[in-house]
């Protein structure tokens, strides 16, 4: 009897499964988006396609008016998106955009408080509450979150913004999405021009003229201090090579994330220049502490006063955040002060915020200037 | 048993209306009828997710019951014998080496899951001290540690921007990314595995005896045990390949089933499957409803499972029916 009951149950389960399975193929990313509840922008065009970081073609009928920024590692993508003037108005919900030290978006978006705040691990249902007509996220979230959103026909656009090349590509994608290719070209040119200025000056350097450079990320948890080096493909390494330095940790990081190194290894490298990155402790305090440490004092970089706290404001400038271009200019000025004698990082930062975020001098003085830290001068 | 099946159906139907859209907790039938997005959520996300939760609970519980009876050890479950860790390694291997085919992930998970089980069994047979229960637990710990370490190496070399979050998400266990294609991809393996286990449930009573006795009662112990174990591991590995590490279900559910329906495998096995499905569906409901962000399912099953297990163990005057 019991056997029959369970058999019937299993049969029912199979029938339910069969009945519930959609007959049509799974929705493609080009499925028409949900009709926006807000009126379309006046400059909206009918039917256009966006090519995202995964090479997907996403079709929109109008410029998305209810954009959600979701997924993990969001703040760096958010800062890049906000270089478009449409972002403040069209973004209706976003996840956490903070990184310990502060939150930049509220400084440039007066409507930030009115937006829906999403949990970092928000799933498709939580995001659907915002009724998005487009969700933007990093491509690393494609498997865990993107598929679910696509299953309920919410268009997803993936971006990376991890390297200078990806900046050029993803800015173009945003230009398509906002139907504002002029702004995309303008921002892309801002980055490329800066890179060109630095590259042209360091291109003639021989290998021996490129200082042995070390970027160390300082982390401290429960009193345990660790120093880590980035992998070769990361922005920190690209900043050093582009600015005319030789990363000494090339063979030390076979992994693909931050890798812990000992002081013994640092001593073996004995770099000419050391950049200290600290995301959660004041970087100036960390550098001061290292300079006072007798073991660190034996290093050539410390003896020659070539150990620098990486410049930062709201966020550290070593990351693949929109500020990486400031980081590049700052690194170049520290590695080659002879080639870049007139670098005024504070002025460059003001220009950056003015051109990319429309921040005037007064707002810069009030919001950003007090946060400038690291070896700015 | 009938009331368990009825309870599962009731919980399943109720769960369809549970969620975070349009607001926390319940989607009203009226809203469901008029809101296109709510319909898509229910049809394309909640249903495959709930059905996968049912398969997950059934598979882990059935595998736990099979392992506990065959190995004569009430402390084993897929997570204790290297199966879960082996399957985890197999799936992470596919993620790191960019093999995204659902079939490849399942085959890899099942292969390494079986390898974990085989290694545990082989080691337990060769340890020269202690009773069978102790040897099996020790061997399982060693093999699990081996695969956990290998998984650590994979995490070390994984791309922290794309692969590592996927592995971490997957290791915590969860059903939030389940859609129809994933559910359908595991359905055949799980159904075949569960069907074999279910059909052979009455043989489990014989196979839990020693070889001589089982043989004299008409069983072919070696062959039948192997078939049952493979069926259990295939079903478990398939669900693990999409749901990640969901622990404690395989350990506690068979214990609860035994307390409710005696130690007879003919009743314990179907009861375990039904109770396991109910347990995972409820845990998954909580995982997606309690907070604005999803709680990893593995954390909830561990938390609730451990509490239930402790209560069961210390409750006086409650023993397994003979």
Closest residue of A to B96, CA-based?
A256
Rounded to whole angstroms, how far apart are CA atoms A42 and B212? 84
Using the Cβ of B98 and the Cβ atoms of chain A, whether some distance falls under 8 Å is answered with no
Q: Which sign does the torsion angle of CA A317, A323, A324, A327 carry? A: negative
Q: Got the DSSP string for B186-223?
A: HHHHHHHHHHHHHHTHHHHHHHTS-HHHHHHTT--HHH
Taking the C-alpha atoms of residue B90 and residue B77, their distance in angstroms, rounded to an integer, is 18
In angstroms, rounded to a whole number, what is the distance separating the alpha carbons of residues B292 and A95? 11
Which among A21, A123, A254 has the least Cβ separation from residue B184? A21
CA distance B59 to B50: 14
What's the confidence (pLDDT) of residue A22?
40
Chain B residues with CB under 8 Å of A124 CB are 41, 45, 176
Q: To 5 degrees, how large is the angle CA B115–CA B121–CA B125?
A: 145
Residues of B in contact with A119 (CB under 8 A): 291-293
CA dist list (Å): B47 to A20, A304, B20, B42:
8, 65, 15, 6
| Phi, psi of B286, deg, nearest 5 | -65, -40
Q: Do B292 and A119 touch (CB under 8 A)?
A: yes
Q: What is the pLDDT of residues B40-71, one digit of tens each?
A: 999 999 999 999 999 999 999 999 999 888 87
- The whole-angstrom separation of Cα B275 and Cα B277 is 5
User: CB–CB of B280/B53 below 8 Å?
Assistant: yes
Q: What is the pLDDT of residue B317?
A: 54
Interchain contact, A123 vs B294, CB within 8 Å: yes
Verify whether the Cβ–Cβ distance B180 to A5 is below 8 Å.
no
Show pLDDT as tens, one digit a residue, over chain A (377 residues).
Answer: 445 544 444 444 444 444 444 433 333 333 333 333 333 444 444 689 999 999 999 999 999 999 999 987 788 889 999 999 999 999 999 887 666 556 888 899 999 889 998 887 788 988 999 999 999 999 888 888 898 999 999 999 999 998 999 999 999 999 999 999 999 999 999 999 999 999 999 999 999 999 999 999 998 776 678 899 998 888 999 999 999 999 999 877 656 678 888 888 999 999 999 999 998 888 999 999 999 999 999 999 999 999 999 999 988 999 999 999 999 999 999 999 999 988 899 999 999 999 999 999 999 999 999 999 998 87
The DSSP line for A52-76 is -TTS-EEEESS--SSEEE-SSS-HH
Place of tokens 């706290």: A309
Distance of alpha carbon A297 from alpha carbon A187, whole angstroms = 42
The residues near A43 (Cβ < 8 Å, ≥ 6 apart) are A63, A179
Q: What is the pLDDT of residue B78?
A: 73
Assign A314 to helix, strand or coil.
coil
Are the beta carbons of A104 and A312 closer than 8 angstroms? no
**DSSP state letter for B178:** -
For residue B291, give the nearest of A119, A129, A144 by CB distance.
Answer: A119
Closest CA to B301 of B77, B145, B126, B90: B77
Contacts of A327 (CB under 8 A, 6+ apart): A235, A239, A310, A311, A316, A317, A318, A319
Do A22 and B43 make contact, defined as CB atoms within 8 angstroms?
yes
Contact B37 A126 (CB under 8 A): no
Q: Phi, psi (5° rounding) for residue A241?
A: -70, -40
Lookup: tokens for B176: 């939030």
Contacts of B164 in chain A (CB under 8 A): 256-257
Q: Which residue has the tokens 């069983």?
A: B219
Contact A21 B270 (CB under 8 A): no
Which tens digit of pLDDT belongs to each residue from B146-162?
A: 999 998 888 877 776 66
pTM of the model: 0.77
Task: Report the C-alpha gap between A305 and A300 in whole angstroms.
Answer: 8
**DSSP count for chain B of H helices, then E strands:** 15, 2
B158 vs A: CB within 8 A: yes
Please give the Cα distance from A37 to B37 (Å, whole number). Answer: 13
Cα separation, B320 vs B322, in Å, equals 6
The tens-digit pLDDT sequence of chain B (322 residues) is 788 999 999 999 999 998 888 877 788 888 888 888 889 999 999 999 999 999 999 999 999 999 888 877 777 777 777 888 888 888 888 888 877 676 787 788 888 988 998 898 888 888 877 777 778 878 888 999 999 999 888 887 777 666 777 777 777 888 888 899 989 999 999 999 999 999 988 888 877 766 666 666 666 666 788 888 889 988 988 898 888 888 889 888 998 898 888 778 888 999 999 999 999 999 999 998 888 778 888 889 989 988 887 887 777 555 544 4
Distance to chain A for B163, nearest Cα, Å? 7
Residue of A nearest to B42 (CA): A152
* pLDDT score of A8: 46
Q: List the alpha helices (DSSP H) in chain A.
A: 2-20, 75-81, 87-90, 105-108, 124-128, 147-151, 164-177, 181-202, 235-242, 263-269, 283-292, 294-297, 300-303, 324-335, 345-357, 361-363
> How far apart (Å, rounded) are the C-alpha atoms in residues B198 and A308?
67
């Amino acid at each position: 009897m019991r056997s029959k009951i369970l058999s019937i149950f299993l049969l029912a389960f199979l029938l339910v499964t069969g009945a519930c399975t959609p007959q049509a193929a799974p929705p493609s990313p080009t499925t028409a988006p949900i009709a926006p509840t807000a009126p379309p922008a006046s400059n909206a065009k009918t039917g256009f396609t966006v090519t995202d970081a995964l090479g997907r073609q996403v079709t929109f009928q109008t410029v998305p008016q209810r954009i959600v920024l979701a997924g993990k590692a969001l703040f760096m993508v958010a800062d890049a998106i906000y270089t478009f003037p449409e972002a403040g108005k069209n973004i209706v919900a976003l996840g956490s955009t903070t990184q310990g030290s502060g939150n930049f978006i509220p400084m440039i978006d007066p409507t930030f408080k009115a937006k829906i705040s999403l949990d970092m691990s928000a799933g498709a249902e939580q995001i659907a509450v915002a009724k998005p007509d487009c969700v933007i996220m990093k491509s690393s979230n494609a498997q865990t979150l993107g598929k679910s959103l696509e299953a309920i026909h919410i268009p997803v656009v993936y971006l990376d913004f991890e390297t200078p090349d990806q900046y050029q590509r993803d800015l173009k994608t945003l230009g398509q999405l906002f139907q504002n290719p002029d702004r995309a070209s303008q921002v892309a040119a801002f980055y490329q021009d800066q890179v060109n200025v630095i590259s042209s000056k360091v291109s003639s350097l021989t290998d021996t003229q490129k200082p042995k450079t070390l970027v160390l990320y300082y982390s401290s948890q429960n009193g345990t201090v660790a120093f880590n080096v980035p992998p070769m493909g990361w922005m920190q390494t690209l900043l050093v090579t582009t600015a005319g330095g030789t990363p000494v940790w090339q063979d030390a990081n076979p992994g693909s994330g931050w890798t812990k190194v000992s002081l013994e290894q640092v001593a073996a490298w004995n770099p000419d220049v050391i950049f200290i990155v600290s995301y959660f402790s004041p970087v100036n305090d960390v550098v001061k502490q290292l300079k006072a440490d007798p073991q660190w004092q034996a290093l050539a970089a410390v003896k020659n006063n070539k150990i620098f706290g990486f410049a930062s404001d709201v966020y550290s400038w070593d990351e693949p955040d929109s500020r990486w271009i400031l980081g590049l200019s700052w690194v170049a000025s520290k590695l080659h002060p002879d080639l870049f004698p007139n670098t005024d990082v504070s002025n460059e930062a003001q220009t950056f915020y003015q051109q990319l975020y429309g921040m005037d001098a007064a707002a810069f003085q009030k919001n950003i200037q007090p946060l400038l830290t690291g070896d700015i001068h | 048993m009938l009331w368990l099946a009825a309870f599962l159906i009731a919980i399943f139907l109720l769960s369809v209306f549970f969620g975070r859209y349009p607001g926390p907790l319940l989607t009203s039938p009226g809203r469901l009828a008029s809101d296109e997005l709510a319909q898509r959520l229910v049809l394309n996300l909640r249903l495959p997710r709930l059905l996968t939760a049912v398969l997950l609970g059934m598979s882990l519980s059935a595998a736990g019951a099979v392992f506990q009876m065959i190995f004569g050890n009430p402390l084993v479950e897929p997570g204790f014998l290297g199966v879960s860790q082996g399957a985890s390694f197999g799936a992470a291997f596919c993620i790191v080496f960019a093999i995204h085919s659902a079939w490849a992930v399942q085959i890899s998970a099942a292969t390494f899951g079986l390898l974990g089980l085989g290694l545990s069994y082989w080691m337990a047979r060769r340890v020269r001290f202690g009773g069978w229960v102790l040897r099996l637990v020790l061997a399982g710990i060693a093999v699990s540690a081996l695969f956990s370490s290998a998984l650590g190496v994979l995490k070390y070399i994984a791309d922290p921007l794309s692969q590592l979050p996927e592995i971490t998400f997957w290791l915590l266990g969860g059903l939030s990314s389940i859609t129809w294609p994933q559910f359908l991809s595991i359905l055949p393996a799980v159904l075949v595995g569960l069907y074999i286990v279910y059909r052979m449930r009455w043989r489990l009573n014989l196979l839990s005896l020693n070889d001589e006795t089982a043989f004299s009662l008409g069983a072919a112990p070696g062959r039948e045990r192997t078939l049952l174990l493979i069926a259990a591991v295939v079903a478990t590995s398939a669900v693990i390949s999409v749901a990640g590490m969901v622990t404690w279900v395989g350990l506690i559910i068979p214990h609860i089933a035994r307390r409710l329906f005696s130690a007879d495998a003919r009743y314990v096995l179907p009861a375990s499957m039904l109770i396991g499905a109910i347990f995972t569906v409820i845990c998954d409901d909580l995982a997606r409803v309690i907070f604005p962000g999803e709680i990893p399912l593995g954390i909830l099953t561990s938390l609730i499972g451990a509490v239930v297990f402790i209560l069961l163990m210390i409750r006086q005057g409650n023993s397994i029916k003979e």
